[in-house]
Structure 1
Amino acid sequence: MLAEVRPSEGSGVDMGWIVRRNHEERRQSGMKLLKQFTNRVERRMKVGLAAVLTLAVAAGTGVMVAFTAGLSDTVRSQIETSLADVCDQNAKVVEYILSDRIALMERIAGQLSDMGDSSAEELVDYLRNAGYAENYGFYNMGVWEADGWGYTTGYEHLNLEGKDYLEEALAGRISMTEAQLSEDGSVYLNILTVPIWHNGVVERVLTATYRSEEFFGLMSVGFMDSQGRSLVLNSLGQAVSLPYKTMAEDFGVVRYISDYVRLDCKDCGLISFTYGGREYAAYTVALEQFNWYVMSYIPTEVVRGKGQFLQRNAMFSLGVLYLCILAVSVISIKTYKRLSRRIVTLAFTDELTQAKNYEYLRLYFRSLSPQERAGKYLVAFDVDRQKFINLLYGWETGDRILKLVVQTFVRTFPKEHIFKGSADGYCAVLDGACEGDIEEKIQRFLDAMAEATRAQGEISVSFSFGICPLDGDESLRSVYDKALLAKREAKGSVDKKYKFFGSSERKRIAQKEMEEVFDQAVKEGQFQVWYQPKFDMRTGKPCGSEALVRWKRPEGGVVAPGEFIPLLEENGRIVDLDRLVLQQVCEDLVAWEGKGLQCLPVSVNLSKIHLKKQRIVEDLWELVERSGADQSKISFEITESAMYGDVEELNRLLRRIQSLGFEVDMDDYGLGSSTLHSLAASHFDTLKLDKSFISAIGSRRIDVILDSTIQMANDLGMKVVAEGVETQEQVDFLLAHQCWVGQGYYFSKPVERCAYEAMLQNSQEHG
């Protein structure tokens, strides 16, 4: 211990040295106390760990002894319970499949009934053209007259007179056959029959043939190390579900079970039987439909073998337990590390979507050097009206949409980064040499989301995007705030749902570049006309199309229309593009007519700028007349916003165009603020309902507005076309309200000229 020194006045002792010495003593004392505390904690942990391990060994030994003593009975009881659970689960699966397929067939039968006096062959043609067999996984479909003759989608003309399932359907009852081997012996089939009612009488029968292994594919056929089997039996004991593999391995058992169930097993539950010198345990559950049973069975030797196996494992585990004591320290460390990783996961991962969250974005942003930030964009986006979706369709639907966004983004851009923000907000970091690359990626994402929502039966959703480049030395907070600001501005936009922050200067540069390359692109034929077919929703056949423009660059990329059309509208070159599209449409019509194809009407968009040209009517007529195209096959689409000016002047223009044999369509109706009065005051031939209207079908207010609009248009003698049709529910609503023509991804996406020509050829060949 240092001696205390008390210097007197004038002693010359350095007081600063004394202060430093006392500070060092306190520091060393603190370190000593900390070390002592640490040692005490470590000793207590060791003592506690030793006590816990001792108790664990004693308890483990006792548990193992007790477990081994009653293992056989316990295993047998658990296996029997599992057998019942598997059977119950399979019964629910089969009932669900049957209910779903029966409902589907009844809907199809209802549609065929509505087709009136069509023959069985015509009804089968309708089924084939509509693609029901392919779309719903049928082996084939067929329609049969009461005399037994009928046709299948596989181009067969057969007579099923005397078939039990046909007689059942003619008697007004739905039925399904047992598993039957196909004619080529390659697969087992089941036939589902549904009556086609007309005026309260069964006039025909609709059949759908399924592959047994696909129809019952969701059922757990093999379980307990593939030793167990499951099958479906009818009231006669005949096997209904009969995958080929099961037949090859267990034909005798299945046949014996069929006889046994028919004779002795009308009461459901657990049974046992012997076949071929082997004992079996089985469980049966009755189904609601068709007086069927589901049975799951397993050899009892599997139960005994599993019990013996578990007993050996239990004894082995008892020995291993003592060895594990030596590794407790290592296990503890690894457990701590796992917990740490789990904590990190919870801290940096969104619980609902499993995407990285904003905190992880901060780490990612800090890891990027200024050079690495160049060429990257921060995209902030969210689902429009997510709160409305949650209220109208429920939180479960809203959550599925949020998860689908992440899944679709990762699938579309596997090398890009997406982060989940709060509520319905997201952030993404996208690579791009220019804004056009980002716009193209956003469009790809939107297309992928549209397909994903259709494929999964979800509602259509829209998004708003705000984009800010990461280049520079700005903080993440600054870049993120700018992206959010741009997103808010995008939400207020009608025609464009994404916006770049501070993009005005870059936009002027892009416009200048666009002007420089536009003429060269036209000269080299980089602008191509694609066609999106319009379909008669009553027949499912194409009845026309809309001409759309695509810009395919020489290097192979496709420039999104949203990138070049607004720029061309601003510099006035959109008029040249309109003429180019019309010229290509005329050439295509003439070429198709020369090939003997029946040309369907094509609508061509005219921009608002084009409408202001003095000689617009004369220019359009001269171009069409010079090409030799039939003007009756051409209509011009004018957006609803063109009505915001002088309606009388617009009507005079419409009459001049119509006097030359063209038709004029009002495009995007519902996107602006036109009223039914303004619609009545116009002289359009066709009204095109905007997809924003169609996507909102199901909302009571929108349904009322659509009903009034369609009725008024029909009363005015206008044709009505629905744009953006994506679901069967929308088709049903439109048909119910006398809108016959639809256009959208439900029928076909825009296709290139050659694909559309093939569609015309196919439509003409099949009537």
Structure 2
Amino acid sequence: MKAKYWRMVFADTFIFLLRFDTRDELLWRINDLCLYLNHYITKSGQVYKLSLSMGIYEVDGETDDIVSMADRAYIARQTIKNKGDTAWAFYDGAVRDKLLHEKEIESQMERALAEGEFIAYYQPKYSTKEQRLIGAEALVRWRRSDDVIVPPYQFVPLFERNGFINKLDRYMFELVCRQQTLWLGEGLAPVPISVNMSRMCLYDPHIVDEYIGILEESGLPAAYVKLELTESAFFENTSIMNGVIEALHKVGIKVLMDDFGTGYSSMMMLKNVDIDVLKLDKSFVDDIGDERSEKIISNIIYLAHSLQIEVTAEGVETKAQFEFLRDVGCDYIQGYYFGKPQPAEAFADLLQKETWNGSDADADTKS
């Protein structure tokens, strides 16, 4: 396949300038090039299989210089998330705006963390039998200096890619520990609050010691804080995960498996990791009403209970969903049906409205 212009930029990066009439023709030529490259056979008979990623910029003016065209193609390539054998992405205005927005966020993230702009919103968790508050999940929000709330989907995926999520997760854990200690000092009876930990944190060999140090410095009893890790984190490295869970259990911190059922589910995985609570993903809850889905939910709950694992259902939004989950023995529910995520002040009001006696409070901190 011939190109009007090609140039090697780095050892594994090339620029091609191709003529085409339609996008379909362009993609056909690119596919032809990929097939050609992946059929290269050495003299010894070895076949090379290449993983190719391409950013494509369609030149819309004769005045574009080669540097500008290459930059735009590179920007498009940066947007490719799941690389298979071959992946490509086209440059357009939306791509440019997205990357500029991400660069703006990255330029502000350290300052925002230092100035306390990241805050916790608390989503209540309720027992299905008594319909009583038994806990909450701390969800990160970014409240800018102009009081605009930035939702997590706009920054969390970026922070997971650039590594800043490690700092943010530690900060959120410390924030929740301080808040719980403050509520205890004010005479409230806090419920256990779970804090999310990114799977990226697990590759830091000092992560458990740091979290334990934060907990001890705050003076908060371990029963009032839990850690949530996504199902994919358990799937990636079971040996590391078991070491983390064992160390956390030694100081009394319980561990939840979040997003169970989102693609990596394995019954054997439940046998191999000593989790305390399994969180049933919202995708299961959304399918309540379908007979086959309901059977799957019922059996997951039965299996979890047989392993002494409690079950929380996420994303419960309707009475029908709640009643089904209650009837099949789900332990706890979380979702808009009982409570939306709310700032600390509103959650403190909720704590004040709940009626607790000493024995009940003790029992809940052990859940």
TM over 0.5: yes
Aligned mate of 1:608, from 193, 199, 209: 199
Aligned mate of 2:101, from 510, 515, 539: 510
**Structure 1 residues 402-413: aligned runs within 5 Å:** none
Q: What is the Cα deviation at residue 512 of structure 1?
A: 2.8
Moved more, 694-703 or 747-756: 694-703
Q: Does 1:710 align with 2:301?
A: yes
Between the aligned partners of 1:641 and 1:629, the Cα distance in structure 2 is 29
Q: Unaligned stretches of 5+ in structure 2? A: 1-59, 62-78, 83-88, 361-367
Q: 3-state SS of the aligned residue for 1:698?
A: coil
Between the aligned partners of 2:181 and 2:159, the Cα distance in structure 1 is 28
Q: 3-state SS of the aligned residue for 2:155?
A: helix
Distance 1:559 1:705, change over 3 A: same
Q: What is the Cα deviation at residue 505 of structure 1?
A: 4.4
Q: What is the Cα deviation at residue 607 of structure 1?
A: 0.5
Q: What is the Cα deviation at residue 603 of structure 1?
A: 0.3
- Structure 2 match to 1:685: 276
Q: Does 1:640 align with 2:231?
A: yes
Between the aligned partners of 1:617 and 1:726, the Cα distance in structure 2 is 35
**Structure 1 residues 394-543: aligned runs within 5 Å:** 502=92, 503-543=94-134
Q: What is the Cα deviation at residue 545 of structure 1?
A: 0.2
Moved more, 584-593 or 645-654: 645-654
Distance 1:524 1:648, change over 3 A: closer
Q: Does 1:756 align with 2:322?
A: no
C-alpha deviations, 1:412-447, integer Å up to 9, x for none? Answer: xxxxxxxxxxxxxxxxxxxxxxxxxxxxxxxxxxxx
> Percent of aligned pairs with the same residue?
37
Q: 3-state SS of the aligned residue for 1:757?
A: helix
Q: Does 1:574 align with 2:165?
A: yes
C-alpha deviations, 1:663-702, integer Å up to 9, x for none? Answer: 0000000112312222222211100001111111111221
Between the aligned partners of 1:693 and 1:704, the Cα distance in structure 2 is 11
- Structure 2 match to 1:595: 186
Amino acid in the other structure paired with 2:237: D
Q: Does 1:649 align with 2:247?
A: no
Q: 3-state SS of the aligned residue for 1:671?
A: coil
Between the aligned partners of 1:651 and 1:692, the Cα distance in structure 2 is 27
TM-score (structure 1 length as normaliser): 0.34
Q: 3-state SS of the aligned residue for 1:764?
A: coil
Distance 1:736 1:635, change over 3 A: same
Distance 1:608 1:647, change over 3 A: same
Distance 1:546 1:500, change over 3 A: farther
Q: What is the Cα deviation at residue 541 of structure 1?
A: 1.3
Q: What is the Cα deviation at residue 765 of structure 1?
A: 6.5
Between the aligned partners of 1:732 and 1:515, the Cα distance in structure 2 is 44
Determine which structure has greater relative contact order: mean sequence separation of CA pairs < 8 Å that are 6+ residues apart, divided by chain length: 2
Q: 3-state SS of the aligned residue for 1:722?
A: strand
Moved more, 675-684 or 687-696: 675-684
**Structure 1 residues 180-259: aligned runs within 5 Å:** none
Between the aligned partners of 1:666 and 1:542, the Cα distance in structure 2 is 20
In 2, are the aligned partners of 1:534 and 1:542 still within 8 Å (CA)? Answer: yes
C-alpha deviations, 1:519-566, integer Å up to 9, x for none? Answer: 211222211111000011212211000001111122232112101111
Between the aligned partners of 1:500 and 1:713, the Cα distance in structure 2 is 45
Name the Cα RMSD after superposition.
2.4
Q: 3-state SS of the aligned residue for 2:153?
A: helix
Amino acid in the other structure paired with 2:107: E
- Structure 2 match to 1:122: none
Q: 3-state SS of the aligned residue for 1:590?
A: helix
In 2, are the aligned partners of 1:676 and 1:709 still within 8 Å (CA)? Answer: no
Q: 3-state SS of the aligned residue for 1:554?
A: coil
- Structure 1 match to 2:3: none
Q: 3-state SS of the aligned residue for 1:687?
A: strand
In 2, are the aligned partners of 1:597 and 1:764 still within 8 Å (CA)? Answer: no
Aligned mate of 2:144, from 530, 553, 563: 553
Between the aligned partners of 1:698 and 1:676, the Cα distance in structure 2 is 24
Query: How many residue pairs end up in the alignment?
Result: 274
Between the aligned partners of 2:303 and 2:234, the Cα distance in structure 1 is 18
Aligned mate of 2:292, from 694, 698, 701: 701
Between the aligned partners of 1:741 and 1:576, the Cα distance in structure 2 is 30
Amino acid in the other structure paired with 2:209: E
Q: 3-state SS of the aligned residue for 1:758?
A: helix
TM-score (structure 2 length as normaliser): 0.70
Q: 3-state SS of the aligned residue for 1:530?
A: strand
In 1, are the aligned partners of 2:202 and 2:240 still within 8 Å (CA)? Answer: no
Between the aligned partners of 1:735 and 1:532, the Cα distance in structure 2 is 19
Higher helix share: 1
Q: Does 1:658 align with 2:249?
A: yes
Between the aligned partners of 1:663 and 1:500, the Cα distance in structure 2 is 45
Q: Which has the larger radius of gyration?
A: 1
Aligned mate of 1:621, from 194, 205, 212: 212
Q: What is the Cα deviation at residue 500 of structure 1?
A: 11
Between the aligned partners of 1:620 and 1:612, the Cα distance in structure 2 is 14
Moved more, 701-710 or 670-679: 670-679
- Structure 2 match to 1:544: 135
Between the aligned partners of 2:165 and 2:317, the Cα distance in structure 1 is 29
Aligned mate of 1:668, from 259, 277, 298: 259
Between the aligned partners of 2:291 and 2:269, the Cα distance in structure 1 is 23
- Structure 1 match to 2:314: 723
Q: 3-state SS of the aligned residue for 2:216?
A: helix
Q: Does 1:563 align with 2:158?
A: no
